[in-house]
Chains A and B, each alone.
Chain A
Amino acid sequence: MSIHIENLSFAYGDKQILKDISLNVKNGENIGIVGVSGCGKSTLLKLLAGLYSAQNGIIEVCGARRPEDIRKNVAMVMQGIMLFPASIKDNITCGHPMSDETIRQACDAAQLSEWISSLPDGIDTFVGERGGKVSGGQAQRIAIARAIAKNAPVVLLDEATSALDGDTSKAVLSALECLTKGKTVVRVSHRPEDLSGCRRIYRLEGGRLYND
């Protein structure tokens, strides 16, 4: 089992967000969670990513239960990408030692290579923290390249395709396809149509998870 959640509950202070959630996702399975804004989808993903610790219940990702161990097995692409105020290369490697070949492959898969080769400084081009120097689609593909380079067995996508426009959506969708190929994937979105490729779709409502 790639992801195992058992009786998970989570609250921000007095406000209960997630109640008694249980979920199992097999290796290589692609599932979706749909729900309205503010229902707790992103909180659930952050718990799955090891960014938050479970207050009650069990979260196990690839056999790891401690948040710091869970994080090693997870890559995540979020909506509203914030890039590091650093070069494209540093945004992909996050400062970790990585071979040029790995970086090149990640850029190819994320449909970045053509754009990068047109830049005067290439992969060393500085990008602003809010992607001020790159478009939203380019920033998202940098984030996807980062996730590809990490090569984690579990991929979490938080509204990753919700804000795409016509011009960039094709490149981003191709990049996401490369990222998720052969991986365990959990997608969340407020639009059911974004989850069309998922094998199972769950609905998050009132803090509880329902199998649709």
Chain B
Amino acid sequence: MISIKDIQKIFKMAGGVRTFVILTILRCPFDALHTVIHAGFLQFAFRAINMRNQDQLFNVCFLFGIGSLILFLYNGTVWTLYAAYVTKWVGKIRRKLFGHISCLSLQQIEARPSGEWITRLNSDVQAATALLNQPLHVPHAVVATVNICVCSIILALLNPDIFGLIIVFVIPHILISQFYIAKPMIGHAINVQEITARNTTDLNALMTCADTAILYGAQEFLLRRFEKSSLDLRKANMKIHHRKAIGNGLLPLMGLCGYLVILLAGGRWMASGTMTFGDLTAVFQYREGLLKGSMMLINSLTNIKTALAGVKHINETMDITPEE
């Protein structure tokens, strides 16, 4: 079972944990601020339109433009620093892995097929790196959590009834995604890594045993083996995509139901005079932030579990003690 210790181990190996934490914290407020600025803009802009106040509308638009510009400049700077950090991280991991493998005895190296070593150096490192650099991973999970918290607090303060309605649709979605999608994902991911190793070994055999294969007419045999492992790899990858597709299909369904319920409830409150059109627009904006955050968090957790298969293999390799 992969635990937080495995992640700690790989971060310890790569170093730069402080930089990672600082960059993640710096990235944290973006989505929440984006939602707040957007919702605030809609709320105050519609209020100004209702009041037919052109000066106030101009000020709201001006502030929205300035706020958005600063926010996107800030975000771009943080991501540039983050990309440089990830590049260094990958280099360090690969160098350390290669160094460790080179210290192993011939017997230890020969105990595994060459494809497995190549897979560990390439796709396992890529998978582990996905924790940091691919869309919807650790930094996104953190950003999404902050976004969910901010939107929830504002929504609860703005209109507790609507907040309750939104939660009713969000919670089941998160639970289904976690237990039905993310949980089996790690097993599928480990399976993919193992088949990748077999596939690379089969490909490698064509090079390393080329003379024997040509002399004994074994090319077709090797091709058949390669085709079989390629097909197995495709099937294993399909299982992952299948689970992800189910997860992706759930959100629009839940979102649509929630949207219709809030629209009907909001319409009644507006008719009774307890809510303005600007408030309802802002509610929808916060709801979108909450849903986007939930979706991002779910996807992040799912993808993190997939990436952990690579982390597991890297740690396994580093745990092999070189013989004296």
Contact = CB atoms under 8 A, between A and B. Distances in A.
Contacts of A146: 212, 216
B211 A95 contact: no
A90 interface: yes
A143 B211 CA distance: 12
Contact of A95 (B111, B115, B221): B221
B215 A51 contact: yes
A130 B110 contact: yes
A145 to B, nearest CB: 12
Interface string B115-158: 10000000000000000000000000000000000000000000
Nearest to A146: B216
A82 interface: yes
Identify whether the interface residues of A are mostly helix, strand, loop, or mixed.
Answer: loop
Interface in B222-250: 222, 224-225
A95 B216 CA distance: 10
A32 interface: no
Interface stretch (B27-35, B78-86, B180-188, B201-209): B201-209
A85 B202 contact: yes
Q: Among the interface residues B213, B217, B220, which one has the most CB atoms of the partner chain A within 10 A?
A: B217
A44 interface: no
Interface residues of A, number: 26
A76 interface: yes
A200 B113 CA distance: 41
B201 A90 contact: no
A49 B215 contact: yes
A199 to B, nearest CB: 25
A107 interface: no
B221 A90 contact: yes
The DSSP consensus for interface residues of chain B is: helix
B216 to A, nearest CB: 4
B216 A82 contact: no
Interface residues of B, number: 25
B215 A76 contact: yes
Interface in B77-119: 110-115
B113 A82 contact: no
A2 B212 CA distance: 22
Contacts of B208: 82, 129-130
B218 A94 contact: yes
A143 B212 CA distance: 9
A96 B217 contact: yes
A71 B217 contact: yes
B113 A84 contact: no
Interface of B: 110-115, 201-202, 204-205, 208-209, 211-218, 220-222, 224-225
Given A76-B211, A85-B205, 10 more contacts: A49-B211, A50-B215, A76-B215, A78-B211, A82-B212, A94-B217, A95-B220, A95-B221, A129-B113, A146-B212
30 contacts: A46-B211, A49-B211, A51-B215, A71-B215, A76-B211, A82-B209, A83-B209, A84-B209, A84-B213, A84-B218, A84-B221, A84-B222, A85-B115, A85-B202, A85-B204, A90-B221, A94-B212, A94-B218, A95-B224, A128-B111, A128-B112, A128-B113, A129-B114, A129-B209, A130-B110, A130-B208, A132-B110, A132-B111, A146-B212, A146-B216
